[in-house]
Amino acid sequence: MKRKMSLLIMLSIWFSLIPTSSIYAGQPLIRVIYEGMEIPFEVAPVLESGSVLVPFRSVFEAFGLTVTWEQTSRRVVGSNDAVKIEMYIGKKNVSVNNEKKDLEMEPRIIDGITMIPLRFVSESMGKNVSWDPSTDTVTIKNRMTVQPTVSNYGNDSYFPTNYSNILGKVNPYVYEKDGFAYFMWSDEAKGGPFMNFYCSVIDMSSGKWLYQNHLFKYVKKEASPFQFLFNENSVYWRTQDGVMKSSFDKGTVTQEVYVVKKMTSKERELMNIARYDDGSVGILSGIKNSMTLYTEAAPNGLLDIKDLNNILMENGTVNTQYLINRSSKLVQIISKNTVKQLNYETGEVSFDEKGKDKIERLKGTSYTQPFFYQNRLYYLYQDGQDRRIKLGSIDDELRNEELGVINFIPPANLTDYKITINEKEIHLWRNTEFNRKPAMEFTNIVR
């Protein structure tokens, strides 16, 4: 018995003296490339059960995280202003911004170095990860990079004479075109039934204001109730005879033109912008059981919209958006945090398997107004304890998916933000104050 015990003790001592790295002998030489640069490691990455483990300090610091190691609790922490990742040696439970998640491979110590799963950390930071087995290379790229927020875009107010909102608090509509940002708003004219429309324009490449608080349109409120709306760099308003349009393009004001020739109705009337999936727009106008889309994209400029259940009127508010897909004959109706569908030829609503209106809800508990880009509906949202924003998208079949996390925690509710988008960037605009004057806070997210 004593001889067996002595043998076991000797074997235990012998195994403890074997370097941990020899357990991983025969491992391929794994390279990790982040944004075109190879990350150097003090201990070579390890491939185990499909997971690549890397030294925590090297990868955290490469991602711009401050590193903390707590010996007593054997806890690893990587953090910055937007994210905090907490892991424990030998445990699969992990915390990302206080939100609990599970790992496929737990962190461990190899040759005295703490090793962590690379893919989980990378994707938790909103990055794309790919593995090339032919070269044993992990490639990591940023999905979206957030640039520092500008508190007073253009270093001046878009409404510089409105000290402490003495002229009234405004909340501009925001539009972006060809490198210029437009901020448009209205107010009631004094001394009669008129409405003033204003526009401020800034050159985004130079950061210089071209126009500030420029009165570009002054119209009489003929119809009652008076309806108007902004779209792109134009304003549309209801007259007794139809809907008129005027645009402001870097100082040039277009002549008033009728986009709808239609007498006002005594019934409640809908007037809103509808957008085709190719980006062209029209005016959706009508009353209960009689809705028409006025657009150059349709024959004779008119497209009759059938709506047997009056869903358009039921969901129609100033913030409701309409996206028309000509191939499927569907109108997507985006109102508040829901999306419904209407077949404009049959007039039927899309139903689910239980015979109820098919409704897709925006993800999260806080979200921006949805926005269109290249025939697709996008929105930003927050969900759970992780307050970083995420990018979501809904397609023509009402499939709702998360496209990625963005390492930015907004200082205000997402409903306060307006979104513009171009080929390379997502722009977040928030109407605020700077030096007691109206100002635009700007955050640029590079895709």
* Two structure tokens written together for 139: 């490639």
* Residue 386 pLDDT: 93
Secondary structure of 316-342 in HEC code, one letter for each residue: CCCCCEEEEECCCCEEEEEECCEEEEE
Q: How far is CA 23 from the centre of its chain?
A: 46
* Residue 411 pLDDT: 94
- Phi, psi dihedral angles at 299 (to 5 degrees): -60, 135
* Amino acid at the residue 175: Y
SS3 123: helix
DSSP string, 266-288: SS--EEEEEEETTS-EEEEEEET
Series of mean pLDDT values for 10-residue runs along the chain (447 residues): 48 42 66 97 92 96 96 95 96 96 94 94 96 96 94 97 93 95 93 92 96 95 89 93 91 89 80 85 87 78 88 81 89 90 94 93 91 85 93 87 93 95 93 96 95
pTM of the predicted protein model: 0.87
DSSP string, 287-299: ETTEEEEE-TTSG
SS3 246: strand
Instruction: Find out whether 391 and 378 touch, Cβ atoms under 8 Å.
Output: yes
* Residue 24 pLDDT: 53
Instruction: Find out whether 195 and 237 touch, Cβ atoms under 8 Å.
Output: yes
Beta bridge partners of 343: 330
SS3 156: coil
SS3 304: strand
* Residue 265 pLDDT: 75
- Please, what's the largest Cα pairwise distance for the chain? 109
* Residue 19 pLDDT: 44
Instruction: Find out whether 199 and 211 touch, Cβ atoms under 8 Å.
Output: yes
The whole-angstrom separation of Cα 345 and Cα 342 is 9
Residues 149-160 have pLDDT tens digits of: 999 999 999 999
Give the domain 27-142 fold: Copper Amine Oxidase; Chain A, domain 1 (3.30.457)
Instruction: Find out whether 405 and 388 touch, Cβ atoms under 8 Å.
Output: yes
Secondary structure of 84-113 in HEC code, one letter for each residue: EEEEECCCCEEEECCEEEECCCCCEEECCE
Instruction: Find out whether 295 and 344 touch, Cβ atoms under 8 Å.
Output: no
Element (H, E) at 19: none
The whole-angstrom separation of Cα 295 and Cα 231 is 14
* Residue 25 pLDDT: 55
Q: What is the DSSP letter of 369?
A: P
Helix/strand number for the chain, H first, E second: 5, 39
* Residue 189 pLDDT: 85
The whole-angstrom separation of Cα 143 and Cα 158 is 32
- Phi, psi dihedral angles at 279 (to 5 degrees): 100, -15
Query: Which residue ranges make up each domain of the chain?
Result: 27-142
